[in-house]
Amino acid sequence: MTVPVRSLEFADAREAEDLAAFLGRLLHYDRAAAVRMQAGGGALAVFGRPPSFEVLAVRAARLAGPDDFDVTVSAGELLECLGESTGTGVLPAPVTGPPWTGVLPPRGGWHEQPGLPDPVALRTALSAAVAEFRNRDAALPEPHRTRAERDRIGREIWSRPVGPTRLPLRAVHAAQSLGFLRAAPDFPVALLSAGSWLRLRTPFGSIALRAPGSGLGDLAVTVGG
């Protein structure tokens, strides 16, 4: 049976370029990454889960037409199918998604939460955390320099809350690593919540995760950069 080809047409070529950059960063962390794509009303949301951070990363794009679909595809195949210069693309064949694709954050009901530091303070906190990880890792005696011990240090550091909020520092680390966070003092960032979910929102994308204790998983980062 022939599977019909579904084309993608973005409202602006830059939308395709930004999506391609996002997919490239996801593939840096997982060459076999899958993404779930939801389109409706001229908007496209692409969800991915970089395994090093155990959060959901969300990149939005504007489409030229009112496409309506919900499909999970290979991130690598989608990247190959994007025409960044033309602002067009083709949806690859669907794949069987990993378990996380069945547990997405809610579409509505988000409320802004107070207490999130400004972007410069967020980047400063990240730099301090990276330096702490490297220093503690370097200070480990050789018999204790194991993956388990390095994971323990990583969980301790990156699970710390950001300021007075419930947002763990690993969410900010993920936002920076995926290109969502900028260091400008006036860069708009916001912390939102909906039920048990938290969402760090920036103009370039969002990081979503269950609030600590809600069961999305623990951090397993063992590298500082």
Mean pLDDT, consecutive 10-residue segments, the chain of 225 residues? 72 94 96 96 95 93 92 97 91 93 94 95 94 94 89 93 96 95 87 97 96 55 32
Q: Say which residues have a Cβ less than 8 Å from residue 186's Cβ, sequence separation at least 6.
A: none
The answer for 54, left when phi > 0, alpha when psi is -120 to 50, beta otherwise, is left
Structure confidence at residue 222 (pLDDT) = 29
pLDDT digits (tens, 9 = 90+) for 145-177: 898 999 999 999 999 999 999 999 999 999 999
Structure confidence at residue 47 (pLDDT) = 98
Residue ranges matching CATH 3.10.150.10 in the chain: 7-99
Structure confidence at residue 4 (pLDDT) = 60
Given this structure, which CATH class describes domain 7-99? Answer: alpha beta
Asked whether the whole model's pTM tops 0.85, one would answer yes
Structure confidence at residue 218 (pLDDT) = 38
